[in-house]
């Protein structure tokens, strides 16, 4: 068996999330089917392991997965073969041979997410599947000051949706920063951390844009950490604006070299 690592992108609009579900079109399901088709009916079904799940409507600029193939192929053949079979809303960016003990999920040391927020009184019909929408005036400096309060290790219980299966809500945010793109009329917010909980990024964005629009106090995030109450964080921003931008593995980032502890996965 040869283990391959894939880096790939997808438009999440028409997918029911990443995780395979019976009777539903999912990223994992489509990719698994094509990997098995490339193997030409292997004796045992090949399982594809992703770096983590994304929800319905969430996009990926660089998701990662691995699988064990029953015979060895050149990486260029894997790259071209899968791209020739995949639908137009998915693309393999890179195929690599990796060590037998590499694991796309358990060896993760960090992830980076991007949230795109389209501004204006009404939603842009050409961006509705690729951005969230915010119709209120927003102060980007206030947003960045609020984001600074998220940096560090915290209990993110106020920022996790019900249905989470995580054994701990403690996570570390290494960096969080917003910028305004005038030509696009967009606010773009990046989060880099050692791991993210269910809907955590979308809830954090909801809180910081409310602060930026003076709908909540500038110093509200430390209070939310203290109370640990999801209801007080209020809104969850739309999935359409969220992108998995990069998955980091041990050795790729010298500043943050350790993988997420098992109890936090």
Q: Are residues 149 and 220 in the same domain?
A: yes
Q: Are residues 168 and 53 in the same domain?
A: no
What secondary structure letter does DSSP report for 129?
Answer: T
Q: 207-217 as b/e, with b when 16 or more CB fall inside 10 Å? A: bbbbbbbeebe
pLDDT digits (tens, 9 = 90+) for 178-209: 999 999 999 999 999 999 999 999 999 999 99
Q: Are residues 85 and 138 in the same domain?
A: no
CATH number for the domain that contains residue 251: 3.30.70.660
Question: Do 20 and 26 contact (CB within 8 A), yes or no?
Answer: yes
User: Worst-scoring range by mean pLDDT, 42-56, 65-79, 217-231?
Assistant: 42-56
Please tell me the distance from the alpha carbon of residue 219 to that of residue 176, in angstroms, as a whole number.
16
pLDDT of 265 > 70? The answer is: no
Q: Are residues 136 and 21 in the same domain?
A: no
The number of folded domains in the chain is 2
Q: Is 155 a catalytic residue?
A: no
Q: Are residues 72 and 149 in the same domain?
A: no
Q: Are residues 60 and 90 in the same domain?
A: yes
What secondary structure letter does DSSP report for 84?
Answer: H
Q: Are residues 43 and 165 in the same domain?
A: no
Residue 103 lies in a domain: no
The pLDDT value recorded for residue 256 is: 75
Question: Do 90 and 83 contact (CB within 8 A), yes or no?
Answer: no
pLDDT of 262 > 60? The answer is: no
Q: Are residues 195 and 157 in the same domain?
A: yes
Q: Are residues 87 and 134 in the same domain?
A: no
Residue 138 lies in a domain: yes
Catalytic residue among 33, 55, 124, 139: 55
Q: Are residues 71 and 122 in the same domain?
A: no
What is the percent of the chain where pLDDT is above 90? 89
Residue 248 lies in a domain: yes
CATH number for the domain that contains residue 44: 3.30.70.580
Please tell me the distance from the alpha carbon of residue 235 to that of residue 231, in angstroms, as a whole number.
9
Q: Are residues 118 and 204 in the same domain?
A: yes
Please tell me the distance from the alpha carbon of residue 54 to that of residue 239, in angstroms, as a whole number.
9
The last residue of a domain, from among 42, 64, 97: 97
Residue 252 lies in a domain: yes
Among the listed residues 247, 182, 264, the one whose alpha carbon sits nearest the alpha carbon of residue 7: 247
pLDDT digits (tens, 9 = 90+) for 72-93: 999 999 999 999 999 999 999 9
Residue 219 lies in a domain: yes
Residue 102 lies in a domain: no
The last residue of a domain, from among 97, 127, 161: 97
pLDDT digits (tens, 9 = 90+) for 95-135: 999 999 999 999 999 999 999 999 999 999 999 999 999 99
Residue 118 lies in a domain: yes
The last residue of a domain, from among 68, 97, 126: 97
- For the chain, state the CA radius of gyration: 19
Q: Are residues 68 and 6 in the same domain?
A: yes
- Residue range of the domain that includes 76: 2-97
Cα–Cα distances (Å) from 147 to 141, 168, 222, 264, in that order, read: 10, 22, 11, 22
Question: Do 31 and 48 contact (CB within 8 A), yes or no?
Answer: yes
């Amino acid at each position: 068996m040869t283990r391959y690592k894939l880096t790939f992108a997808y438009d999440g609009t028409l997918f029911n999330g990443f995780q395979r579900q019976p009777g539903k079109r999912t990223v994992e399901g489509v990719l698994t089917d094509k990997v098995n088709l490339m193997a030409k009916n292997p004796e045992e079904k090949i399982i594809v392991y992703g770096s983590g799940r994304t929800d319905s409507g969430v996009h990926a600029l660089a998701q990662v997965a691995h699988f064990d193939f029953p015979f060895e192929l050149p990486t260029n053949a894997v790259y071209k073969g899968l791209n020739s079979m995949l639908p137009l809303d998915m693309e393999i960016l890179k195929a690599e041979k990796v060590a037998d003990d590499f694991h796309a999920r358990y060896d993760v040391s960090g992830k980076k997410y991007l949230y795109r927020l389209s501004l204006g009184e009404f939603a842009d019909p050409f961006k509705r599947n690729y951005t969230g929408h915010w119709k209120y005036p927003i102060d980007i400096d206030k947003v960045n000051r609020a984001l600074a309060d998220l940096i560090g290790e915290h209990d993110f219980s106020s920022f996790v949706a019900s249905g989470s299966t995580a054994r701990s809500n403690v996570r570390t945010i290494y960096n969080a920063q917003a910028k305004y793109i005038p030509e696009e009329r967009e606010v773009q917010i990046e989060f880099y951390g050692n791991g993210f909980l269910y809907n955590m990024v979308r809830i954090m964005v909801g809180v910081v844009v409310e602060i930026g629009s003076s709908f909540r106090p500038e110093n509200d995030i430390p209070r939310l950490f203290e109370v640990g109450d999801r209801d007080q964080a209020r809104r969850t921003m739309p999935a359409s604006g969220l992108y998995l931008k990069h998955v980091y593995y041990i050795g790729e980032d010298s500043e943050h070299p350790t993988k997420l502890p098992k109890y936090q996965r």
